[in-house]
A = this chain, B = another copy of it.
Amino acid sequence: MIHTVAETGRGRPTMNDVAAAAGVALKTVSRVVNEERGVNEATAERVRQAIALLGYRRNDGARVLRRGRTASIGLVIEDVADPFYSLLSRAVEDVALGNGSLVFTGSSGEDSLRERELVLAFCARRVDGLIIVPAGDDHGYLVPELAAGIRAVFADRPAGPGLDVDTVLCDNTGGARAGTAHLAAHGHRRIAFLGDNPAIFTAEERLRGYREALASAGLAYDAALVAMGTPQQERLHADLARLLALPDPPTALFTGNGRTTVTALRALEALDARPTAAGGIAIVGFDDFELADMLSPAVTVVAQDPANLGRTAAELLFRRLSGETGPAERLRLPTRLIARGSGELPPP
């Protein structure tokens, strides 16, 4: 039988309230809530009724305090609004949910200070683990956290020096090499490179791949054909205007990430120099993007698989959380060249 209970007014009911309502001890409620065996079915039913009556829900914060594990992880990326990271996020979420874990998400906005704040805030909430796409390259602040048992996996970019931690990267150099070589194989000898800020690990690796491909093709590296920086419309417009005005202008363009590719296409349009099916400057871009196949010409890309990146990192994290030991892993995920037209245009 259910005893009515004087509602204490404000605030949520606790196990104590449920216990009082059901006429049992606190601990019995705990057992029912956690579906432990050894509770008489009639008693359990009375407790369940009291729970429903009061709208009780277990306070996981208190539970965590008692047990240690929070069943939550933190994900720090550059920007959820960027398709690359949103695909990565979704994959991380799915793996986490499959492991009974919730996900704190935060965008650093390529600001190492904000990255640090987010990570430490997550650590203060005692997340079990972290997946980090770092913005900065000093992660000393993580040392005490790792020592305290929080596991971290770095994704897309490695941790700063001195941190021996699991890392999942993309084959940036190989991908850029393949993309650049593809252009060279189609007869281009003046290939420009538009990349992100060279302080960013991936941008620098991709530049390296570009240079290696040039060398393999017997082409000289010409600094005048390289422009790097944040992919803003105005900057790219100016860079491309400069490149096209060179006495010996490039006949092909390798762009270092998705945002740069799209922005460059817009800038070329504004400069009246966008490739057409009939011809024009050839383009290969790092990163696939939505509708690349619907432009004319369709855009040839070196595709990464951001979902795979997120999934791999998350699975690695959960393997660690379930006790897997061993030295820090450092994985490289492959890229794939998708020829669609813009990278197969011949030089004039």
List 11 contacting pairs A-B, 8 Å CB cutoff, sorted by A: A12-B148, A55-B148, A57-B124, A57-B148, A59-B126, A80-B80, A81-B83, A97-B106, A102-B104, A269-B294, A290-B290
Minimum Cβ distance to chain B for residue A93 (Å): 6
In chain A, residues 240-287, which have Cβ atoms closer than 8 Å to a Cβ of chain B?
262, 265-266, 269
| A105 located at the interface, meaning its Cβ lies under 8 Å from any Cβ of chain B in the complex | yes
A49-89 to B contact mask, C-beta < 8 Å, 1/0: 00000010111111011000010100000011111001101
CA distance A120 to B60 in the complex (A): 11
| A197 located at the interface, meaning its Cβ lies under 8 Å from any Cβ of chain B in the complex | no
With a CB–CB cut-off of 8 A, which chain B residues contact A59? Answer: 65, 124, 126
With a CB–CB cut-off of 8 A, which chain B residues contact A79? Answer: 90
Is the beta-carbon distance between A57 and B89 smaller than 8 angstroms? no
CA distance A178 to B304 in the complex (A): 39
CA distance A61 to B67 in the complex (A): 12
| A107 located at the interface, meaning its Cβ lies under 8 Å from any Cβ of chain B in the complex | yes
Identity of the chain B residue whose Cβ is nearest the Cβ of A123 in the assembled complex:
B57
Identity of the chain B residue whose Cβ is nearest the Cβ of A13 in the assembled complex:
B148
Identity of the chain B residue whose Cβ is nearest the Cβ of A296 in the assembled complex:
B296
CA distance A5 to B231 in the complex (A): 51
CA distance A60 to B125 in the complex (A): 5
A146-174 to B contact mask, C-beta < 8 Å, 1/0: 01110000000000000000000000000
| A121 located at the interface, meaning its Cβ lies under 8 Å from any Cβ of chain B in the complex | yes
Is the beta-carbon distance between B106 and A104 smaller than 8 angstroms? no
Known: A55-B147, A55-B148. 13 other contacts (CB 8 A): A55-B145, A58-B124, A59-B65, A59-B126, A61-B64, A72-B104, A90-B107, A93-B105, A102-B122, A103-B105, A265-B294, A269-B294, A290-B290
With a CB–CB cut-off of 8 A, which chain B residues contact A57? Answer: 120, 123-124, 144-145, 148
With a CB–CB cut-off of 8 A, which chain B residues contact A106? Answer: 93, 97, 102-103
| A291 located at the interface, meaning its Cβ lies under 8 Å from any Cβ of chain B in the complex | yes
The listed residue (B105, B124, B294) touching A295 by CB distance below 8 A is B294
| A327 located at the interface, meaning its Cβ lies under 8 Å from any Cβ of chain B in the complex | no
| A143 located at the interface, meaning its Cβ lies under 8 Å from any Cβ of chain B in the complex | yes
Minimum Cβ distance to chain B for residue A74 (Å): 9
With a CB–CB cut-off of 8 A, which chain B residues contact A323? Answer: none
Is the beta-carbon distance between B60 and A124 smaller than 8 angstroms? yes
| A11 located at the interface, meaning its Cβ lies under 8 Å from any Cβ of chain B in the complex | yes
With a CB–CB cut-off of 8 A, which chain B residues contact A293? Answer: 266
CA distance A60 to B70 in the complex (A): 12
